[in-house]
Homo-oligomer: A and B are copies of this chain.
């Protein structure tokens, strides 16, 4: 684990030119909201793959929105066992828990080179008191995170290894697709099988064998950082769920 390997990005993307705003799955802002967000964002941060920028047990002065790249939120036990809680993709907010409550109860690590918008927690109250629609959006984001955790919990608690693998892959693929990261049903996946195993509560070995089994069904392909969805219906039926698809999602 690399620590603290984060630095200012050199330049800051102005919010009105934010590439995420063009995505059809994200909601539009009013000019006033946009103006506030632009002031709310005080910096832009660059994090290298493998570096953690938020730490379990610490109190952070900032919260972040992923502008570009992939990350994951995780917790570790004393003896080193690790559980990945969820993945963070562009437009996802990260570190809200630490901003609202006493301290973070999980860590966040970059999977790819990561660009983050930096938002100071001390000005969160300003947002709540002056921009109730944005405050509502933040609650919405928290509720969505909760929803994803719940789905994940059912998966780990009650599904077989094959169902679990199918479920995460479909879930991640669906989220990437929404963000326009898929081309010809192919997404560049920055995950290793170890990440998958830690997300699913399985061992690396068993994850590998299960993954092979899933690939043998021809529902998916996954080679060299490229994930390809071959048969969405089949994958959905193995996973026991549909790929996520949201509209007018807020982000900040």
Chain A contacts to B: CB under 8 angstroms: 75, 77-78, 81-83, 85, 96-97, 100-101, 105-106, 124-125, 128-129, 132-133, 135-136, 138-140, 142-147, 149-154, 156-159, 200-201, 240
Question: CB < 8 Å: which of B138, B157, B159 contacts A139?
Answer: B138
Q: Could you say which residues of chain B place their CB within 8 Å of the CB of A150?
A: 75, 85, 105-106, 149
| Cα distance A128–B75 in the bound complex, in angstroms | 32
Q: Are A143 and B85 interface neighbours, CB within 8 A?
A: no
* 11 A/B residue pairs, CB under 8 Å, sorted by A: A75-B154, A83-B157, A85-B153, A97-B147, A101-B143, A125-B136, A128-B133, A135-B136, A135-B139, A145-B146, A157-B200
Q: Given contacts A83-B153, A146-B146, could you give 9 more A-B pairs where the C-beta distance is less than 8 Å?
A: A75-B151, A81-B159, A83-B157, A85-B150, A97-B143, A132-B135, A142-B143, A156-B201, A158-B201
CB distance from A20 to the nearest CB of B (A): 20
Q: Could you say which residues of chain B place their CB within 8 Å of the CB of A85?
A: 150, 153-154
Q: Are B149 and A146 interface neighbours, CB within 8 A?
A: yes
Q: Could you say which residues of chain B place their CB within 8 Å of the CB of A78?
A: 240
| Cα distance A159–B76 in the bound complex, in angstroms | 11
Q: Are A140 and B100 interface neighbours, CB within 8 A?
A: yes
Contact of A154 with B240 at beta-carbon distance under 8 Å, contacts A143-B100, A144-B101 already known: no
Q: Are A82 and B158 interface neighbours, CB within 8 A?
A: yes
Closest to A146 in B: B146
Q: Could you say which residues of chain B place their CB within 8 Å of the CB of A106?
A: 150
Closest to A142 in B: B142
Q: Are A158 and B81 interface neighbours, CB within 8 A?
A: yes
| Cα distance A100–B133 in the bound complex, in angstroms | 12
Closest to A149 in B: B149
CB distance from A47 to the nearest CB of B (A): 21
Q: Are A147 and B81 interface neighbours, CB within 8 A?
A: no
Q: Are B153 and A149 interface neighbours, CB within 8 A?
A: yes
CB distance from A223 to the nearest CB of B (A): 27
CB distance from A154 to the nearest CB of B (A): 4
Question: CB < 8 Å: which of B128, B129, B146 contacts A142?
Answer: B146
Q: Could you say which residues of chain B place their CB within 8 Å of the CB of A129?
A: 132
Closest to A82 in B: B158
Q: Could you say which residues of chain B place their CB within 8 Å of the CB of A144?
A: 101
Q: Are B154 and A152 interface neighbours, CB within 8 A?
A: no
Q: Are A153 and B153 interface neighbours, CB within 8 A?
A: yes
